[in-house]
Amino acid sequence: MWGKGLRLGVRRRAAWAAALAVLLPILLPTGLAALPCPQKAKDVPALLREIEKCVREIGGYPGEDFVRREFFLGEGDDDTYKTHYVGILIKDDAEGPRMTILITWLEPSRENPRVKYARDPKTIVCRLPADKAEVVRSDYSQSDLETLLPDVLRAVVDKKNLLKK
């Protein structure tokens, strides 16, 4: 009686150990990424400059005298399940480059969650003369920009890396 129960306990422990050995390397990086960590203060002008630089590196479409690119915000690599659309337009004029960022929340349809409806579009307009950046108009508060722009930059960098492949 004890022998069979003891063997079952050992087998169960071995199964748990094997499952942890397989799942731990997969779950640990994502688990650590989800932990809150102290971050330095976000510099909105520097973020806008970096976004502009990365979008210009991706380049515009042939035949256009401006740079226009689209990105999506959200978790994962599949754009189908992203929650926000980001459109970035950069146009050069006499006062220097002008960048317009349009961010739209994508509401999933009740009938088909893969179908999304554009809701609540918000705009950020900035000028980027020489080596500074100034926000001309924004539908977001300063604190919202500090949390939103790093996500926009991450989406731009991810797409830039994807297009390099």
48 and 17 together in one domain: no
Are residues 58 and 9 part of one domain? Answer: no
Q: Does 15 have pLDDT greater than 90?
A: no
CA-to-CA distance for 127 and 97, rounded, in angstroms? 6
Q: What is the count of structural domains for the chain?
A: 2
Report DSSP letters for 13-53, one per residue: HHHHHHHHHHHHHHHHHHHHHHS----PPP-HHHHHHHHHH
- Same structural domain, 51 and 111: yes
Q: Which domain holds residue 27?
A: 1-37
14, 54: one domain: no
Higher model confidence: residue 69 or residue 1?
Answer: 69
User: Do 20 and 55 share a structural domain?
Assistant: no
Are 82 and 3 found together in one domain?
no
Render pLDDT for 65-79 as a digit per residue (tens, 0 to 9). Answer: 899 999 999 887 777
Asked if residues 141 and 148 have their Cβ atoms less than 8 Å apart, the reply is no
User: Exposed, middle or buried by CB within 10 Å (0-12, 13-18, 19+), for 75?
Assistant: exposed
What pLDDT is recorded for position 28? 54
Residues 31 and 84 in one domain: no
Mean pLDDT of the chain, nearest integer: 81
Do 53 and 105 lie in a common domain?
yes
Do both 138 and 90 map to the same domain?
yes
| Distance in angstroms (rounded) separating the CA atoms of residues 27 and 5 | 31
pLDDT in tens, 56-109: 999 888 888 899 999 999 887 777 778 899 999 999 988 889 999 999 999 988
Q: Based on the fold, state whether residues 63 and 130 are members of the same structural domain.
A: yes
Position 66 scores a pLDDT of 92
Same domain, 102 and 146: yes
At residue 32, the pLDDT reads: 42
Q: What was the pLDDT predicted at 24?
A: 54
In this prediction, residue 162 has a pLDDT band, given cuts at 50, 70 and 90, of: confident
Residues 4 and 85 in one domain: no
